Amino acid sequence: MPELPEVEIVRQSLNKKIKQKKVKKVIIRNRNLRLKIPSNFITYFLNKKIIKVGRFSKYLIIYLPEENYCLIHLGMSGTLHVVKNKSVNKYTNTSFYNSPFLPKKHNHVELVFENFKIIYNDPRRFGFFQLIKNNTDLIKRFNHLGPEPFDKNFNLDYVYNFFKNKNKDIKNFLLDQKLVSGIGNIYASEILYLSKVNPFKKVKLLSKKECQKIIINSRKILLKAISKGGSSIRDFKDTSGLKGGFQNEFKVYQQEGELCKNKGCSDFIKKKITSNRSTFFCDSCQK
């Protein structure tokens, strides 16, 4: 599943392409995604100019006229493809997940503009589109989620108090979107390695210094991932023919059996599977 940096890369690609562009036609081939596409979906978009594309956590937000919004969540396998009219489209995918080319099957939604179209492809159909009718409802929609790592509210007082007397381990808490929004499995392992905190340490045992390290390194890792174009786990390219580069920066993720990269450490990176998720860590460095 795409994490915050990968969704941000999609946002940047989409915003560059569709901002201030008018939708000429809407085609829905399959309404049955994780949430059924509502009957008024076409009226939200048809002949409307896209104001901009925003993002919160792992959600894309299409800003429409009259304070209307459309949320897009890519789920496990959703991708958005830019297909140009009357030209060869070598790479169409706005992200680095799944095929870099537009697949022939599972193209559920098309937004048609003057010289190109945006196509939503999703083989597993866990993604969704959701219409929001005003700004108040948009804010309410995210009430159940914690702040993003870049938010000023994701600070030491907030984190330390959130952890107080709780028995869950820190890795699981970083994946808990109620604490902080947008961090997934890849970046949680990298953040904790950089912070030198054991992923299985109970949060009630974390010191303020360790909490502060986690906050700072959450921002550092995610910003670096965004600057590198996200993580391209497989050899796929985006619409510009570029690959995500953060996978070249991995210190622990998918590094099982490799020598720890911390200076002076002679231990090897280990992997442990809990709740069907792989956690990568160094026993010596992460206490």
* 3-class DSSP string for 79-95: EEEEEECCCCCCCCECC
Residues annotated as catalytic are 2-3, 58, 277
The string of pLDDT tens digits covering residues 192-225 is 999 999 999 999 999 999 999 999 999 999 988 8
Determine the pLDDT at residue 235: 39
The string of pLDDT tens digits covering residues 145-191 is 999 999 999 999 999 999 999 999 999 999 999 999 999 998 999 99
Query: Domain 156-281: which topology?
Result: Helicase, Ruva Protein; domain 3 (1.10.8)
Domain ranges within the chain, ordered by starting residue: 4-141, 156-281
Q: How confident is the model at residue 248 (pLDDT cuts 50, 70, 90)?
A: low
Determine the pLDDT at residue 13: 87
Tell me the CATH architecture of domain 4-141: Alpha-Beta Barrel (3.20)
The string of pLDDT tens digits covering residues 44-103 is 999 999 999 999 999 999 999 999 999 999 998 899 999 998 777 778 888 766 677 888
9, 75, 232, 233 from 123: Cα distances, Å: 21, 10, 19, 19
